[in-house]
Chain A
Amino acid sequence: MEGLNIPLNHILLIASLLFVIGMLGLMIRRNIIFILMSLEVMLNSAALAFVAAGAHWGQPDGQIVFMLILSIAAAEVAVGLSLVLQVQRRFRSLDMDSLDWMRG
């Protein structure tokens, strides 16, 4: 299980495909929950690229960046989901377009 036979560019291809799918989801969905899920997919694919690059050089640095990305994702999701609760309470909708005015 050392990954000796897996080519590096295939795993980078998987990571970039996941990133592109996440970005597409971010652009086409209007529900805030789905936008947060797309952000998770994008962060996860970036983490996959980091871990693959770290494994390629045999260094633990990629895995450390993975942990930083993990904590960023956790903090972002916690704040984002509590904002989702606020939006649902005030506007009775999860549509991003209901937030297009700036007066509090």
Chain B
Amino acid sequence: MLEIILFYIAATVALVSTILAMTRANAIHALIYLIVSLLAVAVIFYLIGAPFVAALEIVIYAGAIMVLFVFVIMMLNLGAKGDAREKTWMRPSVWVGPALLTIVLFAELLYVISSAEGPVSTGVVGAKQVGLSLFGPYVLAVEIASMLLLAGLVGSFHLGRRYLDRAPSSELGHQQEGE
């Protein structure tokens, strides 16, 4: 009984923090809410019997990917001017139409998933089973993922190196003073 209460608490935290993250004007505030949301989803993963995935969610999503966002936001140096500009972009005329359309899509999704029945899991699927399956029948998927990560590495290095080369330190300092 305890786990079902914990599940609903974690789900509420995830939903509320995601909504707050999507509506903040300041990028860092939105990022912190997004990290809270990811941690809540990690709790859900643990409760449904996937502890390895819960650890990966915290280590890679909330740890590595969000730190990338933090570094880029710090490099961009947005400041209070960026917040004011964000607020002018978030008028109700901007978000009412998309909100109605997504509510329609959500109602359809609700109709589809209402036929799912039964408990979410009947036992823990641990790291051993996942590892055996990952390097057994799914070894080709591991290779594809490694090629994808290599492509991401080369692509981001290529794009980011030109940023560093053509913007010498004096120009960066000037930009920071200007803002």
What is the interface of chain A, defined by CB distance below 8 A to chain B? 1-14, 16-25, 27-31, 33-34, 36-38, 40-41, 44, 48, 51-52, 54-56, 58-64, 66-68, 70-79, 81-86, 88-89, 94-95
- A7 cross-chain contacts in B, Cβ below 8 A: 117-120
Instruction: Select from chain B the residue with minimum beta-carbon distance to A13.
Output: B113
A/B interface sample: 24 pairs, CB < 8 A: A2-B123, A5-B4, A7-B120, A12-B113, A18-B37, A21-B15, A22-B22, A24-B102, A25-B22, A31-B86, A34-B27, A41-B22, A44-B38, A54-B50, A58-B121, A63-B50, A73-B61, A74-B60, A75-B148, A78-B152, A79-B155, A81-B69, A86-B159, A86-B163
Query: In whole Å, how far is B116's beta carbon from the nearest beta carbon of chain A?
Result: 4
User: Complex: how many Å from CA A44 to CA B151?
Assistant: 21
User: Complex: how many Å from CA A70 to CA B72?
Assistant: 20
A63-B53 in contact (CB<8A): yes
**How many A-B Cβ pairs are below 8 Å?**
257
- B64 cross-chain contacts in A, Cβ below 8 A: 74
B118-A28 in contact (CB<8A): no
What is the interface of chain B, defined by CB distance below 8 A to chain A? 1, 3-4, 7, 11, 14-15, 18-19, 21-22, 27, 30-31, 34, 37-38, 41, 44-50, 52-53, 56, 60-61, 64-65, 68-69, 72-73, 75-76, 78, 82, 86, 89-90, 94-95, 98-99, 101-103, 105-106, 109-110, 113-114, 116-125, 129-130, 132-134, 138, 141, 144-145, 148-149, 151-153, 155-156, 159-160, 162-163, 166-167
User: Complex: how many Å from CA A73 to CA B7?
Assistant: 25
A-B pairs, top 3 by smallest CB distance, nearest first, are: A75-B152, A55-B121, A25-B22
- A63 cross-chain contacts in B, Cβ below 8 A: 50, 52-53, 125, 130
Besides A25-B21, A33-B73, A56-B118, 17 more A-B contacts (Cβ < 8 Å) are: A3-B3, A6-B3, A10-B7, A10-B11, A11-B120, A24-B99, A28-B90, A29-B89, A31-B89, A40-B61, A52-B48, A55-B50, A58-B121, A64-B130, A78-B152, A79-B152, A85-B75
